[in-house]
Amino acid sequence: MAKEYRTEKARKPVKRDANYKLYKIQDEDVREAVHVAQKTLPNRLRRLRESQNLALSDVAAEIGTTKQCISHYETGEYLPSVPMLVALSAFYGVTLDWLIWDEEARGK
């Protein structure tokens, strides 16, 4: 029998079944992945741009966005969408895996 719980944010009843712990673990993994990306991605984007002596406007023009958007990604203010991550990794010639993940966080 599923129990009803209220979430803090939505204030709507949420049904949780016997697999709730499995869902919770996956949610924690997702949160950890986002946390790692928030730390790693901005530094790597800035280093890549600076190593190629490019201005924010140069990258923005090639990717099809604004220099303010690229600046927000490099400062960690915003995380890019998946299509934007693909465009950035293709532009810089690096893999998505390297761009997002910190080797220490992955156990390497």
Q: What is the pLDDT of residues 81-97, one digit of tens each?
A: 989 999 999 999 999 88
Task: Identify the DSSP state of 81.
Answer: P
pLDDT interval class at 5 (50, 70, 90):
very low
Residue 3 has a CB neighbour count (10 Å cut-off) of 10
Give the range among 24-28, 29-33, 42-46 with minimum mean pLDDT: 24-28
Total tally of structural domains belonging to the chain:
1
Q: What is the mean pLDDT of residues 70-86?
A: 91
Domain assignment present for residue 51? The answer is yes
Report for 14-18, 25-29, 46-50, 101-105: range of highest mean pLDDT? 46-50
The answer as to whether 34 is a domain residue is yes
One-letter identity of residue 56: L
The CATH number given to whatever domain includes residue 32 is 1.10.260.40
Domain limits for position 45: 20-100
CA-to-CA separations, 102 to 11, 68, 85, in angstroms, rounded: 36, 25, 16
Question: What is the mean predicted confidence (pLDDT) over 42-56?
Answer: 95
Backbone angles phi, psi at 22, to 5 degrees: -60, -45
β-strands 13-16, 3-6: how paired? antiparallel
Report residue 24's pLDDT band, with 50, 70 and 90 as the boundaries: low
User: Does the residue 67 lie in any domain?
Assistant: yes
| Residue 23 in this model has a pLDDT that exceeds 90 | no
Q: Does 48 fall in a domain? A: yes
